[in-house]
Amino acid sequence: MKDKILIEPEPDGFDRKGANLSTQIGPVLLLTAIFFLNFSARVVYAPLMPEIETDLNITHSDAGSMFFYLSIGYFITLLGSGWVAASLNHRRTIILSSVVLGLALFFTAFSGGLKTIRFTLLLLGAAAGLYLPSGIATLTQLINQRHWGKALAVHELAPNLGFIMAPLLSELIMIWFSWRSVPVMLGITTIFLGIGFAFYSREVSFTSVPPGFTSFKLFFSNPAFWIMVILFSLGIAGTLGIYTMLPLYLVAEHAIDRNYANTLLSFSRILSLFTALAGGWTSDRFGPRNTLIIVFLFSGITTMAIGAASDHWIIVPIFLQPMIAVCFFPAGFAALSRIGPPGASNIAVSLAAPLAFMIGGGAVPSLIGFMGDTISFASGIGLVGGVITLGALLSYFLKL
């Protein structure tokens, strides 16, 4: 019997043609809240890293490697999320992700050494990786394709809020407590929201068919899919990859106080809330391909500027770079969701995102940390920025 190409069935009575953002804003905001905690759990260790380095007595390379272990866990479950969603459905997968993620945050808080915290971050990444394909699949099933850019832009408010709130909440909590209290409080909130989602999300319970050979062949034989894998690697590198190592860079090479560095890191992401929405509108208006070309060109240039700027000018690229870099994701997810048949968006995400996250969110911080120990953080960040600019050229060849 031949494998079936993945098509996700729609619930009885669900009229996809009539679904626009305004009629589905409740479920969209609920998913956005879950994504906010999911993302915050992965980035909160960036503002904590100067304290973790001191507490655990580790090097810059060790600090960067922690994000690599987190990305390995994320890689594994993100890759296998199609089978999990097929067994549980998307709603239960999202609930499972939230509860296990909250527990993993607790375990991380009680880590006593580098090996232990690496293992707990591996578990944390694995729990977080279950969410994204099911979240994106649910979102694109709820909303008509004409409004995907705007809906995904709302969803992308979550990581942008996470970028802003993680440093602020970390500094606020560390006024009275140690860094270990931050993941504990975040874990409690994550578990409670997962339980809340279980009670208030029955109307968004979409199912999935497990990926088979035909599903893999459908994407792996499509050049556009492989281009998107590379583009997502670059998009994640320009956002998460730079963000995770920026506090260490500012403290170590610009002699900036940790509190001020985290405050600067947080405030620099505020305007990105609005530019992310603008990125969704631009993707709907001019198309994902044209949007990606512009985003990668200017994201790469401003990333290189972070590495090259002097102490007096460093604040300028720190504010400009995230405003541009976050515009990748609405266009990127819209482009990825158009590859393959309708209903295959969760498979497209679960195949493309794992490798992209491991490269952009794991290998890139490790590279920057290694160069911070051997040459300089500035050299590592500048190198990453140069590679990101190549995404503009690659986007030109993207066919959707």
Segment 27-38 mean pLDDT: 86
Q: Any residues with CB less than 8 A from the CB of 250 and at least 6 apart, and which?
A: 256, 261, 264, 265, 314
- pLDDT attached to residue 13: 40
Q: Any residues with CB less than 8 A from the CB of 294 and at least 6 apart, and which?
A: 392
Tally of CB atoms within 10 A around 120: 24
pTM: 0.74
- pLDDT attached to residue 3: 39
In the chain, what's the furthest Cα-to-Cα distance? Answer: 66
Q: Are 265 and 246 in contact (CB under 8 A)?
A: yes
Domains of the chain, residue spans:
22-396
Residue 42's nearest CA partner among 249, 324, 244, 264 is: 244
- pLDDT attached to residue 21: 57
Q: What does the alpha-carbon distance between residue 353 and residue 278 come to, in Å, rounded to a whole number?
A: 23
Q: Give per-residue pLDDT as tens, 311-356.
A: 888 889 999 999 889 888 888 888 887 776 666 666 777 778 788 8
- pLDDT attached to residue 53: 84
Q: What does the alpha-carbon distance between residue 115 and residue 61 come to, in Å, rounded to a whole number?
A: 14
Q: Give per-residue pLDDT as tens, 104-151.
A: 999 988 888 888 989 999 999 999 988 887 887 777 777 766 666 677
- pLDDT attached to residue 22: 56
- pLDDT attached to residue 382: 92
Amino acid at 385: G
Helix axis angle for 345-357 and 223-236, nearest 10°, is 50
22-396 topology per CATH = Growth Hormone; Chain: A; (1.20.1250)
| 20: pLDDT strictly greater than 70 | no
Q: Are 353 and 232 in contact (CB under 8 A)?
A: yes
DSSP state of 205: -
Q: What does the alpha-carbon distance between residue 24 and residue 140 come to, in Å, rounded to a whole number?
A: 11
- pLDDT attached to residue 16: 46
| 40: pLDDT strictly greater than 70 | yes
- pLDDT attached to residue 353: 77
What is the Cα gyration radius of the chain?
Answer: 20
Q: Over pLDDT 70: what percentage of the chain?
A: 85
